[in-house]
Amino acid sequence: MAIKKRPRRIRNNPFSRNLARENRLMVEDLIYPIFVTEGQNIKQPILSMPGVFRLSIDNLIQEAKECYELGIQAIALFPVIDKELKSEDASEAFNDNGLIPRAIKELKKQLPNLGIISDVALDPYTSHGQDGLIDSNNKILNDETVEVLVKQALSHARAGCDVVAPSDMMDGRVAKIREALEEHKFIDTKILAYSAKYASSFYGPFREAIGSSVSLGSASKETYQMDPANGDEALHEVQLDIDEGADFVMVKPGMPYLDIVFRVKEAFSKPTFVYQVSGEYAMIKAAGEKKWLDEDKIIMESLLAFKRAGADAILTYFAIQAARILKQHR
């Protein structure tokens, strides 16, 4: 009996494979997270994230210029705060002359068309390393934390930030931030909500990078970040953030939660971002350095997986490397 259906026919030639390709990764899909620190001409390597550095503002500008020249649309800023500025009330988080507002102002002066996303969270600023304020029993205080997050978001908006990104997972924070932005006439400031952020073990290198791992110690974030066992809960969280005024929603981490990315995009058709987090980066880098895997190919396959799952944009420490690869294959 003759074979009537031969799916391999399409796969047989490069031109037909290209014509039938369902998903494509573009440089415009990439967002580059950058760690910012005080000082001049600082470029400190992060041991658990080879190729990633803590940068002073002058070096941040140079890195951002390379991103812009490669076609990367936006960068995301994460602060490395000096120990003496950390406190239980995280007051440095809303200092208009603080590290992140100064970085935003300088970036906007030199690269006005590059999108700037700022992290709105307290863990870099708290002496205990939690994303929220705590009481005498170490309980996270939701509403009191939201009040500080609003001040932080307004501080970043005043500096000229394009997108504020609350990553704290406190209840009701998107609504309060949106209300404050509107009240203060920042009607064009966008909100990227970390809507489905899981209490994951993949964040270790990031916490080393910003210096919160020492402060956090053996404490966990399970009372506010999501249980990795839950999927339906992610949809409820995303719905709340959309209703409260989020412009973009995010799933974090990425690769272990591709099913969540898919479900969020299918359910809401909302611009959906995903964060390929530090632990994912570190694993690929380690295998690549040992030549166990072809690093460039694995990077591109992992990023394409996010697109196939439904992600509109990807925060990844591979952004510059991936942009160069894409440029080579144009």
How do residues 255-281 score in pLDDT, each as one tens digit? 999 999 999 999 999 999 999 999 999
pTM of the model: 0.95
Q: Rounded to the nearest 5°, which phi and psi values hold at 159?
A: -75, -15
Q: How confident is the model at residue 214 (pLDDT cuts 50, 70, 90)?
A: low
Residue 200 lies in a domain: yes
Spatial CB neighbours of 43, under 8 Å, sequence gap ≥ 6: 53, 54, 55, 56, 59
Residue 9 lies in a domain: no
Look at residue 212 and tell me whether its pLDDT is greater than 70: no
Look at residue 174 and tell me whether its pLDDT is greater than 80: yes
Beta strands at 115-120 and 133-134: parallel, antiparallel or unpaired:
unpaired
Residue 139 lies in a domain: yes
Q: How confident is the model at residue 217 (pLDDT cuts 50, 70, 90)?
A: low
Residue 255 lies in a domain: yes
What is the pLDDT of the chain when averaged over all its residues? 95
> Contact 31/316 with Cβ under 8 angstroms?
yes
Residue range 70-97, pLDDT digits in tens: 999 999 999 999 999 999 999 999 999 9
pLDDT at 126: 94
Residue 6 lies in a domain: no
Structural domain total, the chain: 1
| Domain harbouring 78, CATH code | 3.20.20.70
Of 22-26, 102-106, 136-140, 267-271, which range is least confident? Answer: 136-140
Average pLDDT over residues 56-69: 98
Look at residue 292 and tell me whether its pLDDT is greater than 90: yes
Average pLDDT over residues 109-130: 96
Catalytic residues: 197, 252
Look at residue 218 and tell me whether its pLDDT is greater than 70: no
- Tell me how far the alpha carbon of residue 118 is from its chain's centroid: 9
Residue 5 lies in a domain: no
Residue 38 lies in a domain: yes
State the residue range of the domain holding 147.
25-328
pLDDT at 255: 96
Residue 20 lies in a domain: no
